[in-house]
Structure 1
């Protein structure tokens, strides 16, 4: 599967994520509301993230990964910038 990297992702974000690969948080996308998504993390916490860019490829109940240091959200075949709302 090819990965689509949003134009909102800066090269330094990709470097930070690669350098801190153990920092990814896994979860399930439980809601999409405009430019924000809600993620239920496998730790039991819930996060609301503001997605920088389109959220058209995100659907509820799909697995996602969030990198809080690099502010990246990986869902489906999309990697985009997302910040805590």
Structure 2
């Protein structure tokens, strides 16, 4: 995942996400409200995060909970 665009993430977030590729979780956006979103992961968990990522309901995303990053295609956003 080296050829991506990072938007408002810290350098350490990028390093952690790149150093631990197995930490990514595939998910779908199931709720969007005032900067918070809920993700349903393919593993069956539901995660609530705060992000400024421009997501839409039902959109597939990748989420790295340790790095606190959400990926929409090649774009990465902070997700806390």
Shorter-normalised TM-score: what interval? 0.7 to 0.9
Gaps of 5+ in 1: none
Q: How many matched pairs?
A: 78
- CA 1:78–1:32 in 2, change beyond 3 Å: closer, same or farther? farther
Give the alignment partner of residue 71 of structure 1, picking from 47, 64, 68. Answer: 68
Q: What's the RMSD between the two structures over aligned residues?
A: 1.6
Q: Return the TM-score normalized by structure 1.
A: 0.81
Whether the 8 Å CA contact 1:62–1:76 is kept in 2: the answer is no
Partner SS for 1:9 = coil
Whether the 8 Å CA contact 1:73–1:82 is kept in 2: the answer is yes
Following TM superposition, the consecutive aligned residue runs of length 4 or more in structure 1 with deviations greater than 3 angstroms are none
**Alpha-carbon distance between aligned partners in 2 of 1:77 and 1:21, rounded to the nearest angstrom:** 14
